[in-house]
Amino acid sequence: MQDEYRTVARAGTHEIEINRSRFLCSLAPAATEQEAQDFIAAVRTEHATATHNCWAYVIGADAGIQKASDDGEPGGTAGVPMLQMLLRREMRYVVAVVTRYFGGVKLGAGGLIRAYGGAVGETLDVLGTRTLRRFRLATVTVDHQRAGKVQNDLRATGRVVRDVRYGEAVTLEIGLPDAEIDAFRAWLADITAGTAGFELGGEMYGDA
């Protein structure tokens, strides 16, 4: 399993114009293939009068699912260059749709490849990217007396406290890279005199 992956920082659209043709690139994060297809369908609906709505997406931290469509442009001149740009930038869990409004001037195969790939590259530059790292969810259970100090110490060491629940004891949910689990367990025992509970959960990706 990949330790980290990059994706687009936020959904958005960026427009470029080439020889009077308008190219609108819409990018969005997509956790599943279904989310990617839903985004493509939404853009198609919004730009139903466009000449073409070409698309590409990469799903999976290992880029296990890669699909693209030229949507009527000459084969290999739109969807594939878009997909190649996403892969060159090492993007994952992302969907791109480039909407073209034809301006009357034919661009030729090379021009189309540059236009579609370039639209995706420019839009990634505009929207920015983020890196998500793989970590284990972990639950820390501590008594009310120590909870405030533990939370402060966690934040002071750069840990993101993802959730806090108050009951008979205080339960804190955090994310830990695998390599730091043993050291964290020792640190927690030290600052709570061995009274804190510690339980590992599942794996996920995030900014932690």
* Complete DSSP assignment for 48-73: TTSSEEEEEEEESTT--EEEEE-TTS
- What digits encode the pLDDT tens for the residues 174-202? 988 888 899 999 999 999 999 999 999 98
Residue 142 has pLDDT above 60, yes or no: yes
Average pLDDT of span 48-67: 96
One CATH from 3.40.50.1220, 3.40.50.2300, 3.40.50.720, 3.30.70.240 for 132-206: 3.30.70.240
Q: Report which of 161, 147, 148, 157 is spatially closest to residue 184, judged by C-alpha positions.
A: 157
Tokens of 24: 């609108």
Average pLDDT of span 23-31: 97
Q: Contact, 116 vs 89, CB < 8 A? A: no
AA letter at 11: A
- The model's confidence at residue 160, banded by pLDDT at 50, 70 and 90, is confident
Average pLDDT of span 13-41: 96
CATH fold for the domain made of 4-127: Ribosomal Protein S5; domain 2 (3.30.230)
Q: Where are the domains of the chain?
A: 4-127, 132-206
Residue 5 CA, chain-centre distance (Å), reads 8
CA distance 46 to 102: 16
Longest dimension (CA), the chain: 75
Give the C-alpha distances (Å, rounded to integers) separating 103 from 48, 79, 118: 16, 20, 18
